[in-house]
Structure 1
Amino acid sequence: MRGLVSFSIVGSAICMFFLVALNFFLTPTLDWSIYPCIALLLWPLSMYFVYRQNLKQFAWFTSLVFLILLTVINLRETPDVLWVLYAAYPLVFWPVFTMLGKRAYTMTVAIIGAVVTSLYYALLNIAFSPDAPWVIAIIFAVGWWPLSLYHARKGSFFAYSVQASIWVSAFMIGMNWAFSPSVIWAIYPIFAVVWWPLSMYFFRAKHHMHSL
């Protein structure tokens, strides 16, 4: 395994040298080689941390490399739009989640994670695009985390279908109200979603009748 780590270091260095030279001789006015070079750092880093069996440090270093890469691209190419802030949160969340270990699968972490994620993107929504409340979709997505974890541990699948249907319906109504209030279209997907708890209810009732 140590030989593979050494090979990855040498191979990454050779590739980076080749890309820098190619950039210098063919397109000296356009510094594009910095992007693949930063990405190439992941190869030896991955091999090293796999060799050391330290996945927590691997998560931190990988997130740092991607964060640096995206920040450089953002500031060089589109400095007027700080889109790197949207990608920064999941890049930081991954190593933090890894550091928590088994505690990451608790209800407390699920609730805190969903709330913090929603607040972070809500602030970005308010700061950069207050006219389009797209954060509704983020809240809807992360809300499944504590909802699904709770019912999976309780084994309450029928209650899950009811609450999940309500959650989906609330999302549809929110999207309808926020983006197209003049056209009431939310009723159509809500009608389809209602069949989920209904089908589970009648399946359970039929199963109960057969068991009598």
Structure 2
Amino acid sequence: MRKSTVIFSGIGAFLTISFLIIINHITTPDNQWSMYPSFVIVFWPIIVYYIAMKKYKGLSLVSALILILFLVIINYETSPVHPWFLYASYPILWWPILMYAGKWRKKLSFAIVSSGSLIAYYVVLNVILTPGYPWFIYTTFTFLWWPIIHYFVLTKKLMTFSVMSSLLTSVFFIIVNQVSTPHVIWAIYPVFVVLWWPLVVYCFSYLRHKNNDKTYKQTSR
């Protein structure tokens, strides 16, 4: 990709954003709508440049930081009292983190550390920003699956995975039931459905093993 393409994309983005800002100021100065399309357009020269230089890790880092900055601006403009941009900031940073992690991201230790840091991050946010309801149980349940799936994919222990996953899911529904609506016992319904998971896996494994033995006996005659 030639240098002229990068220069053209930069000039084109600058002129387009300037035009949108002027139109916004002339027509509706009370509503700063131009920042939304400008946020998308600003990625044009950035993507062109980093792809031309083949710096894909740098592209992920710069893009993540710009996206977080955009959320901070929107947060400040719309609801400065509550810093909701923090909920999305750390997950966005995982794009460059995964890029820079290299071969480590394929290891179980990386999944455990990553899952633990994400769980701790949202626990802290829950305690500091919204201590009234323990919503971190939902994020914790979600991020726990990362190392669990990673481990059982490596070991290929499908039966153990189904049993552990069923227990984890059942505990999750019971906790949500107790925290949200303790006067109504509804967790028994999804728990009953989830318990079919290891049963189906066991029956499937048993029948497959039985069919393989039957086929082996027939061919050995």
Please give the range of the TM-score, normalised by the shorter of the 2 chains: over 0.9
How far apart, CA to CA, are the structure 2 residues paired with 1:163 and 1:29?
55
Partner of 1:141: 142
Q: What code does the residue aligned with 1:172 have? A: F
Of the structure 1 ranges 75-84 and 5-14, higher mean CA displacement relative to structure 2 is found in 5-14
| Offset, 1:7 | 3.5
How high is the TM-score relative to the length of structure 1?
Answer: 0.94
Partner of 1:98: 99
Partner of 2:37: 36
| Offset, 1:85 | 0.8
Partner of 1:117: 118
* Count of residues in Structure 1 that have an aligned counterpart in Structure 2: 212
Structure 2 residues without counterparts, runs of 5 or longer:
214-221
Partner of 2:201: 200
CA contact (8 A) 1:35 1:73 kept: no
How high is the TM-score relative to the length of structure 2?
Answer: 0.90
Partner of 1:184: 185
Alpha-carbon RMSD: 1.4
Structure 1 residues without counterparts, runs of 5 or longer:
none
Percent of aligned positions that are identical: 34
How far apart, CA to CA, are the structure 2 residues paired with 1:29 and 1:179?
41
| Offset, 1:127 | 1.2
Secondary structure in structure 1 of the residue aligned to 2:93: helix
How far apart, CA to CA, are the structure 1 residues paired with 2:62 and 2:209?
54
How far apart, CA to CA, are the structure 1 residues paired with 2:32 and 2:66?
18
How far apart, CA to CA, are the structure 2 residues paired with 1:176 and 1:4?
57
Partner of 1:78: 79
Q: Which has the larger radius of gyration?
A: 2
Secondary structure in structure 1 of the residue aligned to 2:195: helix
How far apart, CA to CA, are the structure 1 residues paired with 2:183 and 2:108?
39
| Offset, 1:11 | 2.5
